[in-house]
């Protein structure tokens, strides 16, 4: 069977896929253009996609032989699950595997932005460090801080365990549990987002929510960029209404070089690398290939984002 893999993957997982199927591997660093995907679609039995690849209804319709889709990510925002399910195509994803790595990065962003790590590095490299001074690059402590966790699933709970080790007071909000969002925003020194992207969470942190936060507080986002109103965040930072923000995800992603947010003070932004450890990314590749091999063999996909496909 013919399979398209939308990017090089860490580890040896693609070799396992090649041992059983004909693999077309996209080797460019940039995602395959849409016209490239559409051109290849009619001959494909399997597709291993990334979050940057829109697998929409039109693409699925253009692939009459398609038997399985495997998304190299926990989220499947880029895949039209309804269209795939209608065709009886299982969609695999890679849950659980990046929980601990994402929690690590959330703490790294808290420490990095609070203690001004990037600013300090740049200060030294510019040759401006000539003597030590009591007011040089003063920051804020994580230990003893109040950390508000928005979304208390696996990753949110992993962040809470780490924060407890720093002696933090941990607040959380999750559906009907924890504290109300308004209270969490008002009390927290660090607000860290770990909620899924859904219609009711898109733009959750808007101008009104940012105004509820302390002017000394920091916003951390390692979940999904559209949880935050980017323009409102840029305005809050430029106005000094927020101490800073540490972002691994943005909306749009990537940000244009001239976007106002990138010129805002107190910003630490990363290129969506929460899962970017060797062990995690290789495990994700193995899971994605396992999903695809099972789907192509007519077996149940072990990590299936649309399990209702098996109830049809």
> Active-site residues: which are they?
224, 253, 272
Question: Which distant-in-sequence residues (6+ apart) come within 8 Å of 307 by Cβ?
Answer: none
CB 135 within 8 A of CB 129: no
DSSP 8-state symbol, 246: E
What is the spatial distance between Cα 42 and Cα 66, in angstroms, rounded to a whole number?
8
Strand partners, 171: 148
Give the Cβ contact number of residue 144 at 10 Å: 10
The length of the chain, given as a count of residues: 312
**CA dist 155 → 25, 26, 106, 237 (Å):** 31, 31, 10, 26
What is the spatial distance between Cα 47 and Cα 55, in angstroms, rounded to a whole number?
9
What is the spatial distance between Cα 75 and Cα 63, in angstroms, rounded to a whole number?
22
What is the spatial distance between Cα 113 and Cα 270, in angstroms, rounded to a whole number?
12
């Amino acid at each position: 069977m013919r399979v398209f893999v939308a990017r090089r993957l860490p580890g040896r997982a693609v070799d396992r896929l090649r041992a059983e199927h004909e693999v077309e591997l996209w080797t460019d660093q940039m995602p395959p253009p849409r016209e490239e995907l559409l051109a290849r679609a009619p001959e494909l039995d399997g597709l291993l996609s990334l979050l940057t690849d829109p697998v929409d209804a039109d693409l699925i319709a253009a692939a009459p032989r398609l038997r399985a889709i495997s998304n190299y990510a926990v989220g499947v925002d880029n895949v039209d699950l309804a269209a795939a399910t209608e065709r009886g195509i299982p969609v695999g994803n890679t849950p659980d595997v990046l929980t601990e790595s994402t929690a690590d990065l959330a703490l790294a962003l808290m420490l990095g932005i609070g203690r001004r790590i990037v600013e300090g590095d740049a200060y030294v490299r510019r040759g401006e460090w000539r003597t030590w001074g009591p007011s040089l690059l003063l920051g804020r402590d994580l230990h003893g801080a109040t950390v508000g966790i928005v979304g208390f699933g696996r990753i949110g709970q992993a962040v809470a365990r780490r924060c407890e080790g720093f002696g933090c007071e941990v607040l959380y909000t999750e559906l009907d549990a924890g504290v109300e969002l308004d209270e969490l925003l008002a009390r927290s020194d660090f607000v860290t987002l770990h909620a899924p992207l859904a219609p009711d969470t898109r733009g959750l942190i808007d101008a009104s929510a940012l105004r509820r936060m302390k002017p000394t507080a920091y916003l951390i986002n390692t979940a999904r960029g559209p949880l935050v109103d980017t323009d409102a965040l840029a305005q809050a930072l430029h106005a000094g209404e927020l101490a800073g923000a540490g972002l691994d995800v943005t909306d749009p992603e990537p940000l244009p070089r001239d976007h106002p947010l990138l010129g805002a003070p107190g910003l630490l932004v990363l290129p969506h690398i929460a899962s970017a450890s060797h062990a995690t990314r290789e495990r994700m590749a193995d899971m994605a290939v396992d999903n695809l091999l099972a789907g192509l063999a007519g077996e149940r996909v072990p990590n299936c984002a649309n399990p209702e496909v098996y109830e049809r």
